[in-house]
Amino acid sequence: MYAVVRRYSAEPSNLEEIRRRVDEEFLPIVSQTRGFVSYYALDDGSGDLVTVSVFLSKEGAEESTYQAKAWIQENSSLIPQAKDIVGGEVFSHGGQ
């Protein structure tokens, strides 16, 4: 499995609209990517948003980065490009 973690800065006043758009617009896009396993978006409480995308293959993870970049460009009035992007092979995981 492969994962991509992205960190974005956003104005706190935009968080509700960002949440809505992520759920209604981006999640349907990324979830159709080949090898999609899961997607998480979280508010760290300081105005930064962090997303975690998990895929079965490196190719799916890389494709999600292109999708995220395009979606962010379309929504640049609410959220700027990612401050940090880290991706790699998952070597340990737990959960249900």
How far is 91 from 89, CA to CA, in rounded Å?
A: 6
How far is 83 from 25, CA to CA, in rounded Å?
A: 21
What CATH number should be reported for the domain whose range is 2-89?
3.30.70.100
| pLDDT value of position 27 | 95
How far is 92 from 96, CA to CA, in rounded Å?
A: 14
| pLDDT value of position 77 | 87
pLDDT tens sequence across 11-56: 888 889 999 999 999 999 999 999 999 999 998 888 789 999 999 9
| pLDDT value of position 96 | 66
Q: Mean per-residue pLDDT for 73-81?
A: 85
The mean pLDDT of the chain is 91
| pLDDT value of position 61 | 94
Whether pLDDT at 90 is above 80:
yes
Whether pLDDT at 95 is above 80:
no
Domain ranges of the chain: 2-89
* φ, ψ dihedrals at 39, nearest 5°: -140, 135
The token pair at 85 is: 């992007």
How far is 5 from 7, CA to CA, in rounded Å?
A: 7
